[in-house]
Amino acid sequence: MKILLTGFNAFGTVKVNPSQLIVEHFAANPPDGIDLITEVLPTEFEAAGNRIRALIRQHLPDAVLCLGVAQKRDKINLEGVARNINIAEIPDNSGKMLSGKKIVEDGADIYHSTLPLTQLQDALTERFIPVAISDNAGGYVCNHVFYSARHEIEQRKMQIPCGFIHVPRIAEQEGELGLSLRVMVTAVRGCLEVLVSPAKVDANTD
């Protein structure tokens, strides 16, 4: 099975982006049985949107799993909805805001995730990893990439799972907001396993 896995580089006050570290981990240690395509996207509205579309066209994956960081959240968030709007409180890494601008001018208002969200949630819960299904992917570059990926897949009439997962910040010590990088890697590994074998959820953590 061919899966496209993406994250983002550092931006703003986020000096270390856990989504980048997770993607780099799997690039170096791909799970058995998966033809994994990995890429760290630039945290730039237009460049990231164009790149995710190009990756889908180039590789024609069987599933797309995009990762990003939500600094103020304390668990893995399985995003259910991508919205056709950019909302920026800070500029992206190219200096652009794009706030209030549609991602695709004549595109659908929303796209729903086509990932098996309930199965993903169950898989992480069985691993004792804090997880929630969310309907708020924000309006920054994460939502932009989520929407762009779903739009590209719809335009190409591809019947494949595609969605977005927000991870929290890296907690350096117990009690801090966020999760350890090890736990986040385990969570994404669990999600990849569900995508490969959706009917079989293995609760082993390693």
Determine the CATH number of domain 2-196: 3.40.630.20
Taking residues 90-101, report their average pLDDT.
93
What pLDDT is recorded for position 151?
Answer: 98
Cross-strand partners of 133: 78
Q: What is the mean pLDDT of the chain?
A: 94
Using a pLDDT cut of 70, give the percent of the chain over it: 96
Cα distance from N-terminal residue to C-terminal residue, the chain: 21
DSSP code per residue over 153-187: HHHTT----EEEEEE-PBPSSTTSSSB-HHHHHHH
79 is catalytic: yes
Taking residues 27-42, report their average pLDDT.
96
Q: How confident is the model at residue 199 (pLDDT cuts 50, 70, 90)?
A: low
What pLDDT is recorded for position 168?
Answer: 97
Domain ranges of the chain: 2-196
Which token pair is 197?
A: 């074998």
44 is catalytic: no
Q: How confident is the model at residue 200 (pLDDT cuts 50, 70, 90)?
A: very low
What pLDDT is recorded for position 55?
Answer: 98
List the catalytic residue out of 25, 144, 151, 166: 166
Compute how many other C-beta atoms are within 10 angstroms of the C-beta atom of residue 46.
16
What pLDDT is recorded for position 185?
Answer: 98
Query: For residue 140, is pLDDT > 90?
Result: yes
pTM over 0.85: yes
CA distance linking residue 150 with residue 152, whole number of Å: 5
Cβ–Cβ under 8 Å, residues 190 and 127: yes
142 is catalytic: yes
List the catalytic residue out of 25, 44, 79, 152: 79
